[in-house]
Amino acid sequence: MQSSLNVLEKLKPRLANEFQRMLLAASLQSAREDSNPLRLNNFSASFRELFRHILVGLAPERSVSACMWFEPDPLAKGKVTRSQKVAFVIHGGLDPEYVTDELGIDIAAERKGLLKCIDRLNKFTHVNEDSFGSAPEEVEKQVLDACEALESFLDCADEARRLLCSRVEERIHDDVVSEAIGDTIQSLDELATHHCIEDVDVYEVEITLLDHEKIHFTAHGSVGVQLQWGSNSDVRRDEGAVIQDSYPLTCQFFSRVAEPEQLEVVQNSLCVDTSSWWDSYCDEEPEPEGAR
């Protein structure tokens, strides 16, 4: 079953932990047991468990039920439904109306794509007469179809979250800039007598976590500064100095899903990397006498 081994290598990096990777390998091992007429059924049962663990990791029931949009389904006897888990995979704790109306994401279409992948996986889990003692070529086909369905589910889930993150990131970009400008940056205080932030250029904002309660962001950019040594009077008398420079900047923020565009800075997370200044400073230090 060389093809299934290739699929195993493709899927392994997509799984969340070693247990899931071991379960995938064990499922494929069951499918390769030529003497067992139940090998396709055993594969299907263990593969179903693998998918259950994957969905639990992407949408923990406790997180889903804690979302402000969650409403218990009376037909589910208090349990989180498959559709609700898929909704969490798509937009986390964010209000579906905000995601649809403000971010312009078609939740129904995204959910339909994920549920279609799940339906493809479910068809492999039943033991029927036609799946007992299956021919080798049929086993191979079913194994590949199941793995491709799982890969398709993971692709759809990743794409849904990427789309959501990019739309949210676009809306908070300007807030990140203003917040960075308004902060005093201690690392710049260490370089000169005075400093003045002249501009901040944020070139990337990424969402690092989105759950039932908060969205966590990291901003990457650069800060342009004016550094001054000595007082204004010293500068006028040519006894001080003023230069312009720029340094990389990172900052972490979070917002609550109820107000996703109201950002708060994570305390002590604003960081300006001034290592290039100190590298240049050290390079320019005169050599001690007698060093040559």
For residues 226 and 194, give the distance between their C-alpha atoms in angstroms, rounded to a whole number. 8
Residue 106 lies in a domain: yes
Same domain, 105 and 40: yes
pLDDT, mean of residues 125-129: 64
Q: Report pLDDT digits (tens) over 163-183.
A: 888 888 777 766 566 665 555
Same domain, 66 and 136: yes
Domain boundary among 110, 135, 169: 169
Structural domain harbouring 195: 182-283
In terms of pLDDT, which residue wins out, 41 or 95? 95
The pLDDT of residue 57 is 92
Evaluated on CA atoms 16, 20, 24, 29, the torsion sign reads positive
Residue 103 lies in a domain: yes
Cβ proximity of 121 and 127 under 8 Å:
no
| Domains identified in the chain, total number | 2
Residue 288 lies in a domain: no
Same domain, 191 and 268: yes
Q: List C-alpha distances in Å: 206 to 6, 166, 174, 290.
A: 32, 8, 14, 52
Same domain, 242 and 214: yes
Same domain, 18 and 133: yes
Same domain, 113 and 26: yes
Same domain, 207 and 278: yes
Same domain, 144 and 26: yes
Check whether 128 has a pLDDT greater than 50. Answer: yes
Residue 289 lies in a domain: no
Residue 32 lies in a domain: yes
Q: What is the pTM of this model?
A: 0.72
